[in-house]
């Protein structure tokens, strides 16, 4: 399926973190297909600047995934069908810190915020939920006794944990949608090694500098990195698929269904994370 000929006319899509990088490129692809794209962003001014660079039908709404009150306000104000929800926003390898609700910043923003948003918006979703993970989900299993890594925080480990959580969330969502007989499907995607501004925010300035150089020498463009997300959103793929580049060890190549780690396919871990996420966010299964 060509990513430029798919017809999304008359349908509304929500993309979190759409003011730059992969989110902005995903918004562009949706708008190019005729879809109406809502850029759900923390900074509305930056969102408006980004929307001005998108050819097609756009709208900018405020959403701060690191603050559950903002997530709830966004969901409570929503009143339209959503053909596709793209959980794209994220932070990467930042210094240790806490969200408004007391979560470690990376798992709080990348997972808990999107978990709450998805459950709260799900009654409006008619098509797909796509959550952007990373090839870096490959790492240790989640420490369910210390998801905040408060005893041994490391920025890379925290990022890996949050991206593994994205995949376990997708697995839990897939099983629940199937059990409910819903026509909605859930998928995950990863961009390979794509150049975005996330790498420059590493807690270690030296690592940030090295990663920025890597962006220039090795990484693919954000447009290329957004292809797996758009593929997961629009192509004919099985429910629960993980979509990423299919060449060079998942770094480059055309998007297709790829296999996540065994940890990401652990049904027991997915259920445990779901229960913890409901308890911590107060957002429960709506169907």
Residue 58 backbone dihedrals phi, psi, to 5 degrees: -135, 165
Distance CA 128, CA 19 (A): 21
pLDDT value for 251: 67
Asked, for residue 3, whether it belongs to a domain, the answer is no
Two tokens, residue 116 = 């709450």
pLDDT in tens, 117-152: 999 999 999 999 999 999 888 877 899 999 989 888
Q: What range defines the domain where residue 145 resides?
A: 12-280
217 against 160, higher pLDDT: 160
- Domain count for the chain: 1
- What positions carry a catalytic annotation? 159
pLDDT-based confidence at residue 66 (cuts at 50, 70, 90): very high
Asked, for residue 102, whether it belongs to a domain, the answer is yes
pLDDT-based confidence at residue 249 (cuts at 50, 70, 90): low
Whether 208 shows a pLDDT value over 80: the answer reads no
Asked, for residue 235, whether it belongs to a domain, the answer is yes
Asked, for residue 6, whether it belongs to a domain, the answer is no
Whether 173 shows a pLDDT value over 90: the answer reads yes
Whether 205 shows a pLDDT value over 70: the answer reads no
Asked, for residue 286, whether it belongs to a domain, the answer is no
Using an 8 Å Cβ cutoff, are 240 and 185 in contact? yes
- How confident is the prediction for the chain on average, in pLDDT? 90
pLDDT value for 192: 80
Q: What percent of the chain has pLDDT over 90?
A: 79
Q: In whole angstroms, how far apart are CA 71 and each of 26, 98, 116, 190, 208?
A: 21, 17, 7, 23, 30
CATH (domain of 195): 3.40.50.720
Q: What percent of the chain has pLDDT over 70?
A: 87
Asked, for residue 2, whether it belongs to a domain, the answer is no
């Amino acid at each position: 399926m060509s990513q430029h000929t798919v017809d999304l006319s008359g349908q509304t899509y929500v993309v979190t973190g759409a003011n730059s990088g992969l989110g902005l490129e995903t918004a562009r692809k949706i708008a190019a297909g005729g879809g109406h794209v809502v850029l759900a962003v923390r900074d509305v001014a930056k969102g408006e600047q980004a929307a001005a660079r998108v050819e097609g039908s756009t709208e900018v709404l405020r959403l701060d995934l690191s603050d559950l009150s903002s997530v709830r306000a966004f969901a409570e104000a929503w009143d339209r069908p959503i053909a596709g929800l793209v959980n794209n926003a994220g932070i990467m390898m930042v210094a240790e810190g806490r969200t408004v609700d007391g979560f470690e910043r990376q798992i709080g923003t990348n997972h808990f915020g999107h978990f709450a948003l998805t459950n709260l918006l799900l009654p409006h979703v008619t098509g797909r939920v796509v959550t952007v993970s990373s090839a870096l989900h490959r790492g240790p299993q989640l420490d369910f006794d210390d998801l905040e890594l408060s005893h041994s925080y490391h920025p890379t480990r925290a990022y890996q944990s949050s991206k593994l959580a994205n995949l376990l969330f997708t697995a839990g969502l897939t099983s629940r949608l199937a059990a409910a007989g819903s026509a909605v499907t859930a998928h995950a995607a990863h961009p390979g090694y794509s150049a975005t501004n996330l790498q420059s925010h590493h807690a270690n300035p030296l690592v940030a500098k090295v990663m920025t150089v890597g962006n220039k020498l090795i990484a693919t463009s954000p447009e290329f990195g957004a292809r797996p997300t758009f593929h997961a959103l629009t192509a004919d793929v099985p429910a629960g698929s993980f979509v990423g580049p299919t060449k060079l060890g998942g770094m480059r190549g055309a998007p297709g269904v790829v296999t996540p780690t065994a940890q990401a396919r652990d049904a027991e871990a997915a259920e445990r994370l779901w229960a913890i996420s409901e308890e911590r966010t107060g957002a429960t299964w709506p169907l």
